Amino acid sequence: MKVPVSASRKGNDEVGALLLPAIHQELSKSTAYSFRRDEPVSDAPEKKGLEFFIELATADAATNEQKYGSTSLVSIVIESMGLPNSWPVPDAWYHKIVIAKREAIKLIAKQFVSDMDAHWCNTMNSSVGGCPEEQWK
């Protein structure tokens, strides 16, 4: 069964604007996740089952006008809702900050989904072992 995932972004930088659709595309290819496009995030108690909510906060990292639009700082937070035998409250289990260059957007999106898988495995298995290594430490 695929985990439903929704993603949103706050920021007005160019690179961050490219990263969100790249993450959408990678999640759509995934065998583990069911990407929910344009569906509002809701914490309504009638919702059942595990869900992930990805939030990106992005900002341009330019030091001068010539570099504007080439690199962004990206904060990625993932919360889950609906763990078995738990109250329906959000649980933030992932937070990383990444430097994203325009020319590496597709690679960063692919690495992110891989890192998310590894981190979730480690979170659920309490680092017992058998999980893939995380891409970003």
Give backbone dihedrals phi and psi of 81, rounded to 5 degrees, phi first: -135, 145
Residue 45 is predicted with a pLDDT of: 47
Please write the tens of the pLDDT for every residue from 20-55.
999 999 999 999 998 876 555 554 445 568 899 999
Total domain count for the chain?
A: 1
The whole domain housing 75 covers 3-125
Residue 70 within a domain? yes
Residue 40 within a domain? yes
Distances (CA, A) of 59 to 52, 76, 106, 129: 23, 12, 18, 36
Residue 85 is predicted with a pLDDT of: 65
